[in-house]
Chain A
Amino acid sequence: MTVVDSMLISMLVAATPLIFAATGLAYAERSGVLNIGIEGIMLVSASVGFTAAVYFQNIIVGVIAALVVGFLFGLVMSIFAVYLKVDQTVMGIGFWLAGQGLSSYFWWATIYPLGEGVSVTPFQPIIIPGLSEIPIIGAFMNQNVMTYGAIALAIISLYILRRTSFGLRVRAVGENPWGTNLLGVNVSRTRCICMIISGLFGGLAGSFYTLGTTGIWADNITSGAGFIAIAIIKLASWNPVWSIFGSLIFSFFISIQFQLQLTTEIPFELLLTLPYIVSIGILVFIPKVRKSKPKSLGIPFEGG
């Protein structure tokens, strides 16, 4: 296994939660609702999923618990954003902070009394025989089930958004909710469903941090990945499949930072800033006007 291969493997691991989160955001933002609070969903589902996995000694139960948390958060957020029509940006900030507080509080209430060093065995990589020997492509055949799932779900989501009547409704609601309402589509319900779907994806993304890679919980474990996903989906022009490549760009800088920590003399605190500096740099290069930007993004639908 060459350096390039091991680099690619760690890149894909770092990219998985970003792909999940960006795909979820694609649903929410295509339907015209900003979901800045996805970072909060990820944190709470990471924490709850970890606790469920520890108590039941089963990581599948952990993932299901994370999905339930994502569903509940998506439901509450959609009530606030769609039915109560609050400012979606500030609401997202509020839910992010609430998620940060709740996740750490939940950990304190459930896992902290058990003592130090509580961990679960994360998902193991499924090595596809034969194919994983090939250079470059082999890295894609050497991942755990969640990484395969992330890529598959991104492709399926693109199909749903592009080729099904539900996807057409989602995109129409994001572009022109008033016209769509006149055609008999329930705007609020469509947006609500999209928020719940993005909550479920946020749950998957969060559970990957505790159950997919490390098997432990740390405070603020996602460290801004939800916000990186917001940048990615903008970079990928709201297309889930492009977001796979966008996530790989970001994860390259996350994983090269670990390589540099081992090989160079640069203090590690300054290397830790690298992904954030790169993210800001990439945001700068996104053109100002995007043709594919949903026209009604962030605007509550009044009337109907």
Chain B
Amino acid sequence: MKYENYLYSGLAILLAVFLGGLLSLMVGFDVLLVYRYLIQGSIGTLWGFFNTADRWVVFVLIGLSMVIPFKMRIWTLGAEGQIYMGALAATYIFTLYPSYANIIVCSMAAILLGGLWGIIAGILKIKFDADEIVTTLFMNYIAIFITGYFVGPEGSLRDTSQAGNQSLPIPYNLDLLTGALIVLILAFLLYFLMTRTTIGYEIRALGSNPQAAEYAGMKRNRLVMLAMAISGMIAGLSGVFLMTNITRILVIDFSPGYGYIGIGITMLADIHAIAVLPFAFFFSMLYSGGEYLNIRTGLPITFINTIMAMVIIFSLLKNNFRHAVAWSRRIYRDRQQVLTRIKQAISRSMDAIRQFPRSKEVAE
């Protein structure tokens, strides 16, 4: 366990938030005001704090869903589609079989369908060696379009009293404390699984050195299936919580890329189940603050998405910090040479541009 890695995670966050501030400055916003609204909307007010906490439950689940596959170096992007499938399964149960439905049955349905969505990607990975990034991404699109069909004009889940394409509002409410408890237990279970069991050891071994692990007799295919199934199940569950706590209804754009936030959370947390908890809180602050920011100033939520993506990019540098240091040191040492080269390139291209119309005239 390397604690200084989390220091680098903090640096990555600061760098991304700083660059995000520059982005808003370019459009002509007051950066300090943007930051103030971000904090005010996320933890500054009671309403904002509960909004953040509700999101935190969902984001922790999305982050946890990626811990096992990422540890095995399977870069699944499937959480987005699994969220949709989970929410779709829950909506299907409470709309069409209301007499049997309660929150537990709906969650079970979501876990099953989310897990199935993960298992399909797992089968494609182990049987056909299909690139999991591409297959899981395409399955996200498929899941979103299937959801669109079910809440669309010809689908069976559409709320006919509304003008737009949406489902009935979910009639269950998840207590925040219960949600937090479930999430905490799940995080500790995953931590236990990863550090104290044979399966966890094999997963870590396959992630760090696949050839040696397989040579030692570990069943890679079985573990890949297990990882994808667990990942799908947790992500499916987060779809239900996203509905009960935040959106209330199922619409085609009900998750604005929340599945991809999990990548950022897990990378910052250094693929560690317990560390997911605080970093998920950071992202839930960012998104509930971003919603407030959107209401107050009109900055779109894509602004927050950009910051999130930059966090992913910079969080990678923590494992390669020495390369970054060595590279910047080399640039600093050869700064004169680098500068003269850049100047040469600029002057050369300026010459070319200046000569361009002249050479045309000559040709004519």
SS class, residues of chain A in contact with chain B: helix
What are 12 A-B contacts defined by CB distance under 8 Å? A87-B316, A94-B263, A94-B313, A101-B308, A104-B302, A230-B134, A267-B152, A269-B145, A270-B145, A270-B149, A273-B141, A286-B130
A105 interface residue, CB < 8 Å from B? yes
**For residue B99, which residues in chain A have a CB less than 8 angstroms away from its CB?**
none
Binding site for A on B (CB under 8 A): 23, 26-27, 75, 77, 124, 128-131, 133-135, 137-139, 141-142, 145-146, 148-149, 152, 154-155, 257, 260, 263, 267, 300, 302-310, 312-313, 316-317, 319-320, 323-324, 327
How many residues on chain A are close to B (CB under 8 Å)?
44
Q: Is the CB of A283 within 8 A of B145?
A: no
Q: Is the CB of B312 within 8 A of A90?
A: yes
Question: Nearest CB to that of A89 among chain B residues?
Answer: B75
Instruction: Tell me, rounded to whole Å, the shortest Cβ–Cβ distance linking B348 to chain A.
Output: 16
Question: Nearest CB to that of B306 among chain A residues?
Answer: A101
Q: Is the CB of A36 within 8 A of B23?
A: no
Instruction: Tell me, rounded to whole Å, the shortest Cβ–Cβ distance linking A209 to chain B.
Output: 17
Q: Is the CB of A227 within 8 A of B267?
A: no
Q: Is the CB of A90 within 8 A of B75?
A: yes
**For residue B148, which residues in chain A have a CB less than 8 angstroms away from its CB?**
269
Residue among A99, A101, A280, A285 having the largest count of chain B Cβ atoms under 10 Å: A101
Extra contacts, 11 of them, besides A230-B131, A285-B128 (Cβ < 8 A), are A83-B327, A84-B317, A93-B133, A105-B300, A109-B27, A230-B133, A270-B146, A273-B142, A277-B142, A280-B130, A283-B128
The one of B141, B155, B313, B320 in contact with A95, judged by C-beta atoms closer than 8 angstroms, is B313
**For residue A283, which residues in chain B have a CB less than 8 angstroms away from its CB?**
124, 128, 130-131, 134-135
Instruction: Tell me, rounded to whole Å, the shortest Cβ–Cβ distance linking B324 to chain A.
Output: 5
The one of B154, B309, B317, B324 in contact with A101, judged by C-beta atoms closer than 8 angstroms, is B309
Question: How many Å lie between the Cα of A272 and that of B324 in the bound state?
Answer: 43
**For residue A269, which residues in chain B have a CB less than 8 angstroms away from its CB?**
145-146, 148-149, 152
Q: Is the CB of A227 within 8 A of B137?
A: yes
Q: Is the CB of A227 within 8 A of B263?
A: no
Question: Nearest CB to that of A278 among chain B residues?
Answer: B138
The one of A99, A102, A267 in contact with B149, judged by C-beta atoms closer than 8 angstroms, is A267
**For residue B308, which residues in chain A have a CB less than 8 angstroms away from its CB?**
97, 101
Question: How many Å lie between the Cα of A230 and that of B302 in the bound state?
Answer: 25
A279 interface residue, CB < 8 Å from B? yes
Question: Nearest CB to that of A37 among chain B residues?
Answer: B313
**For residue B139, which residues in chain A have a CB less than 8 angstroms away from its CB?**
276, 280
Q: Is the CB of A234 within 8 A of B142?
A: no
Contact A86/B317 with A276-B138, A280-B138 known, Cβ cut-off 8 Å = yes
Within 8 A of B (CB), among A213-236: 223-224, 227, 230-231, 234
**For residue B327, which residues in chain A have a CB less than 8 angstroms away from its CB?**
83-84
